[in-house]
Amino acid sequence: MRVGRIAFLAAFMLGWAGPAKAQVAVDLELALGVDVSGSVDAGEAELQRNGYVKALTDPDVMKAVRSGYLGRIAALFFEWADEDNQRVTVGWTLLHDAASIRGFARAIDRAPRVRGRFTSISGAIDFALPLFGKSGFRGTRRVIDLSGDGPNNVGRLVTLARDNAVARGIVINGLPIVSDRPDPFGMPMANLDLYYRNCVIGGPGSFLVVAEDFRSFAIAIRRKLILEIAGLTVFAPVPGRQRGGASLQPAQDRWVPPCNEGERRMQQRIRGSF
């Protein structure tokens, strides 16, 4: 009788806990992270938002979503700035047809706008990493997609965060926004694309697409999303960039920023010597 009671209580407690929720299988879990730090003014932030909305609803991006084995992906949109300043703008959403994709894009467009001050790419990676375990989805691939216009300058070194994410099976892709204009915190860093290549992206098949300025962001993110969602690219060295039809210096002939360059500049700025 006592054994029976114990078995009954054990079954009751298991029933109280409830069965584990099944995860939905998808081709890709994609966390889209957008820089809203102080170097991104209100107009540029709006161009970024509009760029994602326009790219997501592009017919070729929709086709890429449906091109996988399962024909569906899960996506999340978050914004980041300082080391402790990140927020999920639109949570994990199943994208599988035109209606679901448009709904995701519409939610991004309607979300309140926020701003930050400094740039912590490492903080963005560390913030995104545990979100995958809470997604409710199980992807064949897991990707953090980061767009930004400057190097990491606060928080831990970006390579530490990157390597930790890659060790956990997460791929990091990048979309550096190259801008020649001065920002509120100093001059922009030359060759940001090479910084992203060497210090930010990582994992099997990781890649970057360069936006030459905020106005070209929508075109760049469209191309990147198609490649990313369909899994069509592998890592390759960054070629010489194009601007106005003229080739810029090839990657191998340009200065390659060290991975602590943003932190070095921040310290100089604090000391007033930048």
pLDDT per 10-residue tile (average), the chain, 274 residues: 46 42 90 88 78 94 95 96 93 97 97 86 98 93 94 96 98 88 63 95 95 82 94 51 43 86 86 64
Answer yes or no: is 151 within a domain. yes
Closest CA to 229 of 165, 147, 171: 171
What is the predicted pLDDT for the residue at 190?
84
CB of 173 closer than 8 Å to CB of 224: yes
What is the predicted pLDDT for the residue at 175?
93
CB of 39 closer than 8 Å to CB of 185: yes
What is the predicted pLDDT for the residue at 227?
94
Burial degree of 187 (CB within 10 A; 0-12, 13-18, 19+): exposed
Answer yes or no: is 11 within a domain. no
Name the 3-class secondary structure at 157.
coil
Own/partner contacts of 123-126, CB < 8 Å, gap of 24 or more, are 123/80, 123/82, 123/83, 123/84, 123/85, 123/86, 123/154, 123/155, 123/161, 124/33, 124/78, 124/80, 124/86, 125/158, 125/161, 125/162, 125/164, 125/165, 125/172, 126/155, 126/156, 126/161, 126/164
Sheet order of strands, 24-35 included: 86-95, 73-80, 24-35, 137-148, 171-176
Q: For residue 258, what are the domain limits?
A: 23-270
What is the predicted pLDDT for the residue at 245?
32
CATH of the domain at 214: 3.40.50.410
Question: How does DSSP classify residue 131?
Answer: G
What is the predicted pLDDT for the residue at 238?
44
Token pair 């326009």 is found at 54
Residue 12 vs residues 3, 7, 18: alpha-carbon distances, Å? 14, 9, 10
What is the predicted pLDDT for the residue at 100?
98
Answer yes or no: is 248 within a domain. yes
User: How many distinct structural domains can be found in the chain?
Assistant: 1
Answer yes or no: is 17 within a domain. no
What is the predicted pLDDT for the residue at 19?
47
What is the predicted pLDDT for the residue at 189?
81
What is the predicted pLDDT for the residue at 116?
80
Burial degree of 75 (CB within 10 A; 0-12, 13-18, 19+): buried
Answer yes or no: is 241 within a domain. yes
Answer yes or no: is 43 within a domain. yes
Answer yes or no: is 3 within a domain. no
What is the predicted pLDDT for the residue at 249?
55
Answer yes or no: is 4 within a domain. no
What is the predicted pLDDT for the residue at 43?
72
